[in-house]
């Protein structure tokens, strides 16, 4: 174990495509979305804590979620749960955590791992991250490029170049460029070329290297975060946070650090094929929970208090109702049913991306208590 390796877990976002399971008050990372017995953030902890040690895990989350995160991760030092007064996207979240880590450990290597993703082959994941830590010693920014399963249009892509021949990181390649979420025809061209990987938003780097790029590319954001970091842990923390945080620009770490560093030839890609999924919608959930090949497809039940009756049907049913309920599905395929105390959602896997439209409609009708 590299004692200078620290994991940052950004835990934000409202997960509108997983509504009504995911709400502003209880976003998707707090839920056992996959029926494993562990919430998504708990599963993330289970993956990364053995890599860095429990004392080297940092979570950045919203102020309103801090207590819930602390309750779900009782092994974690509470002072390493960093609470944001308002959402400012990943550059501010990861930047602040990196500054606080660098104050504690000037030789730190940091790795950012989202709180709401799924990885099925944890052993392979850890081998890939081991390579990434070695590659980060070069002073470059390292990212993980996921082997595409299909020409997906919901993910950004990374164009990869030649092997670098790094000792201890034999699969490391130069990142040529980051690409935005593409149109379907472009995605097919990317996948067919064999040069592109999905961008999973995992970044590993020396803390000093990441902060150097951040300062160069966005000096205003860097200066604001520096003021907050200097006051952190002092009597002035709350006052400085309240003064500076609202004025910080909302920007993703990809735009502030990864893309400029790639353009300067300072990003390394470690290819990864370990069953990654961003659990972005109910179709993702159904795919991750579907039977193994050869087993009959049916209706998967996740949650509590649900007595399922299925006749010639397939799909997934979530139940978070406090009271026992029988759900009967007859003659329907690829159905998604989400049953909560105040909302019943019925959709199909093919329309899973459109669930966020229902959230928008509820907001337009003033149904704020459902959001």
CA distance 15 to 114: 13
Per mean pLDDT, which range of 125-139, 162-176, 273-287 is the poorest? Answer: 273-287
Domain match, 142 and 224 both: yes
Domain match, 243 and 295 both: no
Domain match, 83 and 122 both: yes
Q: What are phi and psi of 369, to 5 degrees?
A: -70, -10
Domain match, 261 and 118 both: yes
Q: Among residues 277, 304, 334, which one ends one of the domains?
A: 277
Domain match, 271 and 295 both: no
Residue 293 has what pLDDT? 55
| Mean pLDDT within 288-302 | 68
Residue 26 has what pLDDT? 87
CA distance 300 to 155: 26
CA distance 30 to 22: 8
Domain match, 329 and 256 both: no
Q: Over 90: is that where the pLDDT of 325 sits?
A: no
Domain match, 254 and 304 both: no
Domain match, 75 and 157 both: yes
Q: Which helix or strand (DSSP H or E) is residue 68 part of?
A: helix 66-72
Domain match, 88 and 184 both: yes
pTM above 0.75, yes or no: yes
Confidence at 22, pLDDT banded by 50, 70, 90: confident
Pairing of strands 173-179, 157-163: antiparallel
Q: How many other CB atoms are there within 10 angstroms of residue 40's CB atom?
A: 26
CA distance 291 to 272: 24
The count of structural domains within the chain is 2
| Mean pLDDT within 159-180 | 91
Domain match, 71 and 151 both: yes
The boundaries of the domain holding residue 292 are: 288-370
Residue 226 covered by a domain? yes
Q: Which helix or strand (DSSP H or E) is residue 308 part of?
A: strand 306-311
Residue 147 has what pLDDT? 92
Domain match, 219 and 315 both: no
Q: Among residues 230, 258, 277, which one ends one of the domains?
A: 277
| Mean pLDDT within 310-330 | 85
Q: Among residues 244, 277, 310, which one ends one of the domains?
A: 277
């Amino acid at each position: 174990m590299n004692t200078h390796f620290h994991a940052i877990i950004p835990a934000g976002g409202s997960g509108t495509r997983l509504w009504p399971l995911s709400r502003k008050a209880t976003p998707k990372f707090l839920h056992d979305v996959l029926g494993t017995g562990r919430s998504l953030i708990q599963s993330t902890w289970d993956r990364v804590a053995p890599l860095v040690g429990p004392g080297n895990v940092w979570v950045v989350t919203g102020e309103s979620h801090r207590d819930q995160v602390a309750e779900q991760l009782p092994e974690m030092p509470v002072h390493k749960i960093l609470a944001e007064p308002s959402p400012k996207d990943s550059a501010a979240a990861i930047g602040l955590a990196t500054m606080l880590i660098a104050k504690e450990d000037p030789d730190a290597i940091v790795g950012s791992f989202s709180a709401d993703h799924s990885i099925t082959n944890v052993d392979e994941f850890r081998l890939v991250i081991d390579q990434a830590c070695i590659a980060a010693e070069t002073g470059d920014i390292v990212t993980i490029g996921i082997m595409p399963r299909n020409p997906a249009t919901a993910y950004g892509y990374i164009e990869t170049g030649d092997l670098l021949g790094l000792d201890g990181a034999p699969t490391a390649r130069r990142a040529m460029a980051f690409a935005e979420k593409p149109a379907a025809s472009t995605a097919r061209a990317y996948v067919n070329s064999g040069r592109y990987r999905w961008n999973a938003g995992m970044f590993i780097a020396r803390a000093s290297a990441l902060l150097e790029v951040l300062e160069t590319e966005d000096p205003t954001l860097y200066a604001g975060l520096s003021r907050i970091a200097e006051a952190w842990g002092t009597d002035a923390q709350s006052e400085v946070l309240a003064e500076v945080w609202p004025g910080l620009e909302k920007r993703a770490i990809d735009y502030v650090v990864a893309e400029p560093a790639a353009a300067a030839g300072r990003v390394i890609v470690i290819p990864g094929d370990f069953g990654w999924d961003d659990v972005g919608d109910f179709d993702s959930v159904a795919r991750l929970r579907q039977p193994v090949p050869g087993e009959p497809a049916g209706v998967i039940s996740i949650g509590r208090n649900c007595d399922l009756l299925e006749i010639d049907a397939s799909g997934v049913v979530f139940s978070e109702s406090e009271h026992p309920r029988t759900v009967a599905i007859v003659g329907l395929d690829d159905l998604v049913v989400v049953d909560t105390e105040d909302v019943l959602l019925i959709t199909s896997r093919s329309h899973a991306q459109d669930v966020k439209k229902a959230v928008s409609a509820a907001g337009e009708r003033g149904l704020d208590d459902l959001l």
